[in-house]
Amino acid sequence: MSEGGPEESGGAVGVPSRRRKAVPMAQWPEVARVSYWAFHANRRQSYMSFAYLQLGSDADTEEAVDAAFDCVMDK
C-alpha cells in the first residue's frame, strides 16, 4: 500500500506534524546550535529576498523572516 500525495493524504507527504512541540534552542546540543547559526548566517538573505518578492514590503519581510527563524528556535 503506498502513501498518497498531498491531495490524497490531506497534507504534504513526509512533513512532520505541527502538533509536535519543538525543543527550545537553549536545550539543543551545542553542535545543533552552531549549525543553526551557520544556516542563519548563510541563508537569511535568501529568505529575505524570497519573502520580499511575496510580500512587497521591507517591514513585512523582516517580520516574516524573523518569525520563521524564531519558530525554529522555539522563541
Q: What is the pTM of this model?
A: 0.59
Segments making up each domain of the chain, as ranges = 29-75
Report which residue type is found at 55: L
For residue 54, the model assigns a pLDDT of 95
pLDDT in tens, 6-51: 444 444 445 455 566 778 888 889 998 999 899 989 999 999 999 9
Could you give the CA distance from residue 47 to residue 56 in angstroms, rounded to a whole number? 13
For residue 73, the model assigns a pLDDT of 77
Could you give the CA distance from residue 23 to residue 30 in angstroms, rounded to a whole number? 13
For residue 22, the model assigns a pLDDT of 73
Contact assessment for residue 38 and residue 44, using Cβ atoms and an 8 Å cutoff: no
DSSP code, position 26: G
Q: Count how many residues are written for the chain.
A: 75
